[in-house]
Amino acid sequence: MISENISYKTVEFPMYDPLLQSSPGENQPYPESYWADVSGKAPKSDGQLNEDIDIDVVIIGAGYTGLSCALHLAKEYNIKATVLEANQTAWGCSGRNAGFILKSTGRKPWSAMSAQWGEEVMRGIYSEVCQGVETVNELIKQGIDCQAQESGYIRVAHKPSMMASLSTQAKLLEKTFGYEVEQLSRSEIHQNYMADENAHGGLRFKDGYGINPLKLAWGYQQLAQQAGAKVYTGTPVSQWFEENNKQILITPKAKVTAKKVVIATNGYTPKGFHLSIANRTLPVLSQIIVTEPLSDAQVAQCNFLTANVVMDTRALKYYYRKLPDNRILFGGRGAITGKSADDPYYAQRLLSVLKQSFPALQSLQYQYAWSGWICMSLDDIPHINNAQDNENVLYAMGYCGNGVSFSVQAGKRLADKVAGKELPNLPLFNSHLPKFPLPALRRIGQWGYFHYGKIKDQYF
């Protein structure tokens, strides 16, 4: 149990578990996160759909992917799509993540891509990743107030032996992509950025940065609506079938008939939602805490000079950033099941690791704690494709925790695919999400990986 002197906020309703439940709910409020507390009033959606409609394209899920798809369909193809969201815009991971804009996607290293598919394919995927960041930047410039912080992403070595692999990564990035990365010693990190006792050197990428993820999604919604898209919230899909070559979706108060359906639900996809994606993803909980504000003295004691986003080299990664109000956001893996998601143990563990990194903060407490489902694919890359047996059903998912910027590119490519445009010949687009073997045992495998990761991070 958490001691009574700790002030904190956490989710007050049971955590939806997509491996066990067939619905994420209807019109559920946002979880009590830091983002929900500081972001102000949400922009107005089109409310709950309450009359039958017959349309060309319906998108299920009002997160980054779905909103980007709707926006680009309207802007580039004059196709006015309808977005259906079970709860609120960005109610899922789009409104719960740490807000890291990075040139990354999935979990597969560039070197592994080159070894498996060749350098040309690796370069193609890198180009897609870069385009995703550029698109986010351009959309923000259109007036999205998402509290973007100073540019910079620091990948820290959690032990001295990890500097060799980071150095190799830096050389590969510069040689292959001309992507200059600054190598930092332990003393340089401590003197110029933050005195993290668990940072034994690292790499600094100049173009990553932190944002308010919920306000970013709200900005996408407004741009999509201005372009002509409709965004209906409180409108879950309870039934889905095909009739006369049309897709029929049943919602609480209306029937939707559409030529094409885009699934943009990622880690929040309900159990048994559609055969095209059944048993092809693993939703994994990521846990975040946000501390009380640091005093000027505490900031000075930690030499916390930077607002750069930070992530370490562990298999079970920790990540953090200093927020505009001098709080620290700190994240890592959460519980395995939704039932255990709100157990204070996971937030307390993050606080303990934070204090190991910054010993001067022993008296610091957290004020917010929440978790959200990220979406893992079996082959560690996202997939943007149509259903294998139905060209009129499309999906994008499997970002593996690196989807804040790439999901926008995925939504854009979904729009291209809906409109019939040929996509680049890359595994992201020309292969389907692979099925997990023995899918009923996915969480046992996850539990095993967590234990393997703990051993690997400590001893190897």
Please answer whether residues 350 and 2 qualify as being in contact, where contact means their C-beta atoms are separated by less than 8 angstroms.
no
What string of DSSP letters covers 114-167? HHHH-HHHHHHHHHHHHHHHHHHHHHHHTT-------S-EEEE-SSGGGHHHHH
pLDDT in tens, 236-256: 999 999 999 999 999 999 999
CA dist list (Å): 208 to 72, 205, 216, 330: 24, 6, 15, 17
1 pLDDT band (50/70/90 cuts)?
very low
Phi first, then psi: what are they for 221, rounded to 5°? -60, -45
How far apart are the C-alpha atoms of 155 and 346, rounded to whole Å? Answer: 23
Burial of 100-119, coded b for 16+ CB within 10 Å and e otherwise, reads bbbbbbbbbebeebbeeeee
Chain centre distance of CA 365: 26
In this model, does residue 449 exceed pLDDT 70?
yes
pLDDT in tens, 187-238: 999 999 999 999 999 999 999 999 999 999 999 999 999 999 999 999 999 9
Q: Of 313, 310, 353, nearest to 161 (Cα)? A: 313
Domains assigned to the chain:
22-98+214-280+378-444 (3.50.50.60)
pLDDT in tens, 133-178: 999 999 999 999 999 999 999 999 999 999 999 999 999 999 999 9
Please answer whether residues 170 and 176 qualify as being in contact, where contact means their C-beta atoms are separated by less than 8 angstroms.
no
Counts of helices then strands in the chain (DSSP H, E):
12, 19
How far apart are the C-alpha atoms of 382 and 435, rounded to whole Å? Answer: 13
Phi first, then psi: what are they for 392, rounded to 5°? -90, 0
| Whole-structure pTM value | 0.95
Phi first, then psi: what are they for 56, rounded to 5°? -80, -45
How far apart are the C-alpha atoms of 286 and 93, rounded to whole Å? Answer: 9
Please answer whether residues 97 and 402 qualify as being in contact, where contact means their C-beta atoms are separated by less than 8 angstroms.
no
How far apart are the C-alpha atoms of 403 and 384, rounded to whole Å? Answer: 13
What string of DSSP letters covers 196-239? -TT---EEEETT-EE--HHHHHHHHHHHHHHTT-EEE-S----E
The number of residues making up the chain comes to 460
Phi first, then psi: what are they for 397, rounded to 5°? -170, 170
pLDDT in tens, 400-432: 999 999 999 999 999 999 999 999 999 999 999
